[in-house]
Amino acid sequence: MLRRRRPLLRAAAVGGVAYAAGHHSATKSAEQQSTDAQQSAQIEDLQQQQPVYQQPAPPPPVYQQAAPPPPVYQQPAPPPPQAAAPAPSGATTDDKLAQLKQLGELRESGVLTDAEFEATKLKILGSF
């Protein structure tokens, strides 16, 4: 007869432990629910006590016209350099020297480039 009682005792023990665990779980769940309810009530009380602040309405948008683009200034192209006319074949040395001086002054003032100066100089001196 002892052998029959053991399975029944085991079943009773397992059942009792399961009941205790379920009861403990239900108790904890009930405590958690009551804690949550208390916290919710406290939050509602605090919200009712604090004044409600509303954000001010944003200012209306300010529309501005786009600034016109800055003017683009261009310098006029310099006039084409006037090369000294080649001296006629019968030109004297004094005329050629005067032309060379004038040509040098034009180069120094920036009207003629060095290449233009050399080309015109060779024309004047070529007729020597």
pLDDT by residue (tens digit) across 60-77? Answer: 888 777 777 877 777 776
pLDDT tens column, 2-24: 555 566 667 667 777 778 777 77
Looking from the CA of 61 toward its CB, the CA atoms found within 13 Å total 3
Its pTM stands at: 0.30
| 3-class state of residue 3 by DSSP | helix
